[in-house]
């Protein structure tokens, strides 16, 4: 499993009220190119998901584990909520970009096998890691070189892989958590944040939140730029 690493645009520095370098509406319209109006909505919602992570990072960084949590909630529960929020929202931001690309190049939502009349938007995993080689080849043949490059980069980034690993631990298993207190004789007890064992190491929740923010921002920003350039 990949570990969590800082690879985004800010790597630990707060980015309150993040402003995109590209115009969201223009990027959505450029990718849509007169076609499916849902494409623009998907692009906007991907950006909103990433922006939500800037809010979460600011909120998380304002907390001190030694102080009472907001509204009296238990600190361990707050940490668990923030870890789930971060990993799920980062995944959503990238999946919404993939869904917009799927509508633009692959003819819209896919119909799951055996579910007549039911459709599912394409996800990043669908486009990057499809289960069947023939399916992957079909997808790749319909995407532009820049579209394929974005998918490969977004999926293969160690930061994205780290987010996937943490999310898997939180979503598909009973998560093991590490709670620590630093005890020094004659000094007040220093309480640390919750850590989650992933890939042989423990990742602390504030690292998870920052990494999720940075990964989502990095790849949504690039998706907007490529959309405006007309190369997706």
Both tokens of 218, joined, read 């990095």
CA dihedral 9, 11, 13, 17 (to 10 degrees): 40
Both tokens of 165, joined, read 């690993």
For tokens 């920003």, what's the residue?
221
pTM score, whole prediction: 0.82
Residues β-bridged to residue 178: 195
* Cα Rg of the chain (Å, integer): 19
Secondary structure (3-state) at 197: strand
Both tokens of 82, joined, read 């923030």
Return d(Cα 117, Cα 119) in angstroms, integer.
7
- pLDDT of the residue at 3: 40
Q: What's the number of CA atoms in the CB half-sphere (13 Å) around residue 190? A: 7
- pLDDT of the residue at 72: 67
- pLDDT of the residue at 134: 63
Return d(Cα 54, Cα 207) in angstroms, integer.
13
- pLDDT of the residue at 199: 73
- pLDDT of the residue at 133: 64
- pLDDT of the residue at 202: 81
Q: What angle do CA 182, 188, 194 make, to 5 degrees?
A: 35
pLDDT in tens, the chain (232 residues): 344 333 333 334 444 478 999 999 999 999 998 888 899 999 999 999 999 999 999 999 887 766 666 766 777 888 889 999 999 999 999 999 999 999 999 887 765 544 444 568 999 998 998 766 667 778 888 999 999 999 999 999 999 999 999 998 887 555 554 444 443 444 443 447 787 777 777 888 999 999 999 999 999 999 999 999 999 9
- pLDDT of the residue at 105: 92
């Amino acid at each position: 499993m990949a570990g969590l690493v800082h690879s985004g645009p800010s790597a630990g520095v707060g980015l309150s009220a993040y402003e995109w370098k590209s115009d969201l509406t223009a990027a959505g319209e450029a990718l849509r190119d007169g076609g499916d109006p849902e494409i623009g909505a998907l692009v906007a919602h991907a950006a909103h998901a990433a922006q939500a992570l800037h809010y979460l990072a600011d909120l998380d960084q304002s907390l001190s584990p030694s102080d009472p949590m907001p509204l009296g909630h238990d600190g361990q529960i707050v940490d668990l909520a923030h870890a789930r929020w971060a990993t799920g929202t980062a995944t959503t931001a990238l999946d919404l970009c993939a869904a917009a690309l799927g509508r633009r190049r692959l003819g819209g939502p896919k119909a799951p096998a055996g579910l007549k009349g039911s459709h599912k938007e394409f996800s990043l995993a669908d486009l990057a890691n499809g289960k069947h080689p023939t399916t992957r080849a079909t997808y790749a043949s319909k995407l532009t070189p820049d579209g394929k490059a974005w998918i490969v980069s977004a999926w293969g980034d160690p930061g994205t892989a780290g987010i996937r690993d943490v999310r898997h631990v939180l979503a598909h298993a009973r998560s093991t958590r590490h709670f620590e207190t630093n005890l020094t004789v004659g000094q007040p007890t220093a309480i640390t944040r919750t850590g989650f064992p992933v890939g042989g190491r423990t990742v602390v929740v504030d690292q998870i939140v920052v990494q999720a923010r940075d990964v989502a921002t990095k790849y949504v920003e690039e998706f907007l730029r490529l959309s405006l350039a007309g190369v997706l």
